Amino acid sequence: MNSKYKILDKFKYLADLIYALLIFFILSNLIKTNTLPSFFEGSFKIKLFYSLHFLALVLISFLLSKSLKKRDSIIRKIYSKSKKLNIPNNVKLIIIIVFVGNFICVLLGKTVYPFSNVGMFSNRSYFDSDSKSKIIYRLKYYYFEENKPKILDVRKEGFYFLSDKLGLGYTHEYTFSTTFHNKGKKENFDYLLNSLVDAQIDTLWVGVQSVNFETRKVTFNPDICDAITLNTDERYYGKVYIPNYQIQKCYEL
C-alpha cells in the first residue's frame, strides 16, 4: 500500500469524527437560530429559498460522508492534487492557512483579521452601551399599499428570493450602492422609481425606521418632516435623497 494512504488511514477515524462534529455544528446552528421561525412566516419565495439551501446542505453532507468511506475520497484527492501543484511548499502552506482560517471564520460567523476580512467593516463604529440614547435611526423609502405605509427594503431587492418588488434583473451591487454609497444621488432615486412601475408604485417617500437596542423593538415612522429633519451629512454614508415633492409637502403642513 502506498505510504501516503497508510498515513491517511491512520487518521481516517479522526477525520470522520471531526467531519461528523462539523456537520452537526452547522445543522444545529441552522435549526436553533432564533430567526428561523420568521423565515417560514414570510413569502413563498423566502420559504423556497431557505428550504432549498437546507436540502442542499443535507445532500452535500450525505455525499461527503459517502466519499470519506472510499479509498479515493475527496480528502485524498485534494491531498494528491496539491502534491502535484508546481508551486513552492511555502506557498502551499500559506494557501492552507488562509483556507482553514477563512473556513473557521465563516463557520463561526465571526471576522478575525486577516481572515474573512471585509475592508468596509474594518473601521466600523460600535454602539455605545453607556450612551443615553439606545435608539438608532435609519432613513428608508416607503410606499402606500391599501392606505398603509410599506417599507421598500432596497438592500433585499437585489436577491430574487428576498425581493418583493423588483424581481429578476437587479443585482445586489446596484441595491447596495443605492442603499449606501450613492443613496444621495437623484439619478439612483429616479432609476429606482422607474423600476417600480411594473409593481404599480409611482411614488416613494422617506420615513424613519428606529431600532431600540434596549427594548429590541423596531418601529417605523412615516412622518415626512421627521425624515427631512434627520437627513443630515452626519448620517451613515451621508444623506439619502429625498424627493422634492416630499420637501414641498412638508413645508405646506
Whether this prediction's pTM lies above 0.85 is answered by no
Q: What is the largest CA-CA distance in the chain?
A: 87
Q: Are 111 and 121 in contact (CB under 8 A)?
A: yes
Q: What share of the chain is helix, strand, coil (3-state, %, to 5)?
A: 55, 10, 35
Q: Which three cell numbers stand for residue 85?
A: 501543484
Residue 53: the pLDDT is 73
* Residue 224 three-state SS: helix
Q: Which residues pair with 208 in a beta bridge?
A: 139, 221
Percentage above 90 pLDDT, the chain: 3
Q: What is the pLDDT of residues 118-127, one digit of tens each?
A: 655 555 555 5
CA separation for the pair 12, 102 (Å, rounded): 24
Residue 9: the pLDDT is 57
Q: Which residues pair with 142 in a beta bridge?
A: 151, 205
Cα within 13 Å of Cα(250), Cβ side:
17
CA separation for the pair 152, 163 (Å, rounded): 10
Residue 96: the pLDDT is 83
Residues of the chain with confidence (pLDDT) below 70:
1-43, 65, 67-73, 75, 106-110, 116-133, 161, 167-169, 253
CA separation for the pair 25, 18 (Å, rounded): 10
Residue 83: the pLDDT is 77
Q: Which residues pair with 209 in a beta bridge?
A: 138, 220
Q: Which three cell numbers stand for residue 78?
A: 485534494
Residue 25: the pLDDT is 61
Q: Are 199 and 165 in contact (CB under 8 A)?
A: yes
* Domain spans in the chain, listed from the N-terminal domain onward: 3-120, 135-252
**What is the average pLDDT value for the chain, to the nearest integer?**
75
